[in-house]
Amino acid sequence: MGVQTVYRWVRDHPFPVDLALSLLLLLFLWVGTGGMVGAYALLMVVQVLPLAIRRVEPFTAALLVAAGCLAQVVLTSNPLGSNIAVLIVIYSAAAHARERWKSFTVLGLGLGGSLLAAADWVWGSEWAADRSSLVIEFMTLFVVLVMLVSTAWVLGDVVRRRKAVVARLREQNEALARDQTQREALAASGERASIAREMHDIVAHSLSVVVVQADGGAYAARAALGREPGADADRRALDQAAQTLETLAATAREALTDTRRLVGVLRESGSAAEYSPAQGLDHLEDLVQRLRDSGIPVDLSVRGGLAGLSRDLDLAAYRVVQESLTNVLKHAGRGATASVDVLHTPAVLLVRVTDDGAGRGAGDGKGNGIIGMRERVEVLGGTLYAGPRTAGGFEVVASLPIQPAGGRQDPPSIHVDGAGRD
């Protein structure tokens, strides 16, 4: 069991801990007095036992101890070892009382008790040999008791203030954590909307091709009907084929309209984004050149070729490079160089962007760049690492599993009268 575990248990279970300590103190005082019995033993019990609730009910504990001290004034004029409980409850009331007036009330009781105890112990004792010095003895004892009471209260109040500061800091940390969680959720939601818009570009482009090819097929069938009448069966077949192609074109147009309407809901108002297909890795050289033009040398290495990648995979890889180079431009600092390495294997597409800048390549952690990249990569079943390099600088490494591009390639063109349509 670690020290922190013990501390937390003691903090979370005040009554059994304080009960055990009060019993130990009571046992220590009883042994120290030679095992006294009778009224003095009862006074010690009355004064020490309330310490068991000093953190649970500090004000009640202080009143019980005060009652025990008042009984002591009535029964004896001598101080007792159990009077140490007075300082303990004053400290506890200042540190743990929920209402401030209770803390000040206990302080007032302690100061009043100091006056009463000094008078009782000086004028009611037999150890004052020189009666002419009683006033001096009284004043000295009273000042000492006041100093002890005040010190105990101030220490408890310092602890109370520290607990209040820690509680405020904890609340602020929790609020910051909630804010960070909300910002990450908003960033993820925004990135999903961005992905949805980009998926619209892919789907819309494919549907546009379907529409064009279907219109071409319908045109070819109608042209064949017009040129060669043929038998009735042939005409019915050609007419049915033409109707099928026309239905296909109508369905594709409807799907295209619904897709644009759906993404229009996701798109923020006032967005000027176009419906044209987004850039991919085939524009990587242009992207790198723009960074070079800004004054940062960039090395580009593409191994394994880029053919055969699905469009969403191609777009995700391009976005990772784009965001990483943007962060290099913003945060790497002067004199930094960057490197982009793309490796296409049969099983995985690896993208690695590094820099040797003095700053953090991914910013100060307040932006959404890494969150967006990770969201985009994880949607495709990949992983992303972004962090400082051992040799200095920053690196972003994305691993994307290869997805078959089947179903996303444009269908072959239909030629009508020697003219091709894409």
pLDDT of residue 24: 93
pLDDT at 11: 81
Question: How do 415-416 and 419-420 pair as beta strands?
Answer: antiparallel
The span from the CA of 332 to the CA of 388, in Å, is 11
Strands 348-355 and 383-388: unpaired
pLDDT by residue (tens digit) across 160-214? 999 999 999 999 999 898 888 888 888 777 767 766 766 665 566 556 656 666 6
pLDDT tens-digit series, residues 84-126? 999 999 999 999 998 999 999 999 999 999 999 998 888 765 5
CA distance 94 to 150: 11
Domain ranges of the chain: 3-127, 184-273, 281-401
**Closest to 102 (Cα-Cα) out of 149, 70, 68, 63:** 63
Q: How far is CA 196 from CA 51, 265, 369, 375, in A?
A: 65, 10, 17, 12
Q: What is the reported pLDDT for 172?
A: 92
pLDDT confidence of residue 68: 92
Interior/surface letters 121-153, b for 16+ CB within 10 angstroms, e for the rest: bbeeeeeeeeeeeeeebbeebbeebeebbeebb
Low-confidence residues of the chain: pLDDT under 70:
1, 124-132, 191, 194-195, 197-238, 240-245, 247-248, 250-251, 254-278, 359-368, 403-422
Contact call for residues 259 and 199 (beta carbons, < 8 A) = no
Residue 332 confidence (pLDDT): 78
Domain 184-273 has CATH 1.20.1050: no
Q: Is 399 helix (H, G, I), strand (E, B) or coil?
A: strand
pLDDT at 85: 93
pLDDT at 199: 65
Using alpha carbons only, give the angle 319, 269, 380 rounded to the nearest 5 degrees.
30
Cα gap 111→142, rounded to integer Å = 9
Tell me the DSSP string of 408-420: TSPPPPPEETTEE
- Here the tokens at position 381 are 């079943």
CATH architecture of 281-401: 2-Layer Sandwich (3.30)
Element (H, E) at 398: strand 394-401
3-state per-residue secondary structure call for 192-204: HHHHHHHHHHHHH
| Phi (first) and psi of residue 354, to 5 degrees | -130, 160
